[in-house]
Each structure stands twice: as C-alpha cells, then as structure tokens.
C-alpha cells in the first residue's frame, strides 16, 4: 500500500482521524489473513492517490482494533465505509468490482454533504450492553 495516501488507523486514533476529519473519510476495514482484502488493496491505494485532495483514505485492522469494528457492525472483511463529519453514510461488504468502489468514492465526494443534510442523526452510543 502507498502509505502516503492511505493512513493506518486504530481504535485509539479513530476519533481524531475519522470523526473530527474535515474531509470525507473512506475506511477499509480489513484483516491481515483476508485474501479478498489483499485483492482490493491496490485499487484502494489507487483511488486514495486519485482522490487525495477530496477525501481521506484509511485502513483499520479488525484483528487488532475490535472495538471500532464492533461499534460500526463490521462482520466481514473487507468492509468499506464512508464517513462525512464522522457519520457513516455508505458501506459495501466484500470483494467488489473496483469500478463499483470508484463510483461510490466519486459519488460520496460529490454528494456526501447533501446526504448528511438530508438525514436524521441517531445516537451512536446505543448498544446492547447494560
């Protein structure tokens, strides 16, 4: 992966790097043993380079950062989630056609702000734990 365009994030840095980001953030939740993740990484890095002026691209290892993966309901890898102002606005699970991911990135950059304005927030602190 081209580390210049894709940042590695962790549970501890999630808030600063995703929730506080001024730009939209595209996160690839992955696991090191996942062959589908490895297949998608070159495309993810390519789009990170192409769209670096408009969005932040990040990876999160679910094996070492289970809290964030659980918080956002990640149950398989790779899972791609897009965030605007810290709120998830789109997701895709599994190995997908690279063109689908690229179109989604482009659409999110163009329309992500509109999506946030036209949605009703639900508290993300709701869990099944008492």
Question: Angle at Cα 94 formed by Cα 37 and Cα 87, nearest 5°?
Answer: 95
- pTM, two decimals, is 0.83
Note the pLDDT tens digit of each residue in 44-76: 999 999 999 999 999 999 999 999 999 999 999
Nearest to 26 by CA among 68, 73, 74, 82: 82
Do residues 25 and 17 touch, judged by C-beta distance below 8 A?
yes
Hey, what CATH class is 6-118 in?
Answer: alpha beta
Domain residue limits, the chain: 6-118
DSSP string, 4-46: TTEEEE-GGGHIIIIIT-SS-EEEEEE-TT-HHHHHHHHHHHH
Could you tell me what percent of the chain has a pLDDT over 70? 83
């Amino acid at each position: 992966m081209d580390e210049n365009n894709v940042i590695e994030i962790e549970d501890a840095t999630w808030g600063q790097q995703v929730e506080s980001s001024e730009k939209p953030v595209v996160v690839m939740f992955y696991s090191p043993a996942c062959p589908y993740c490895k297949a998608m990484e070159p495309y993810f890095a390519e789009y990170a380079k192409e769209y670096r002026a408009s969005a932040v691209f990040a990876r999160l290892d679910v094996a070492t950062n289970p809290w964030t993966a659980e918080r956002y309901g990640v149950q398989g890898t790779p899972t791609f989630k897009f965030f605007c102002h810290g709120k998830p606005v789109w997701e895709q699970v599994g190995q997908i056609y690279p063109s689908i991911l690229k179109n989604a990135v482009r659409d999110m950059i163009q329309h992500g702000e509109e999506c946030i304005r036209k949605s009703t927030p639900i508290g993300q602190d709701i869990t099944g734990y008492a």
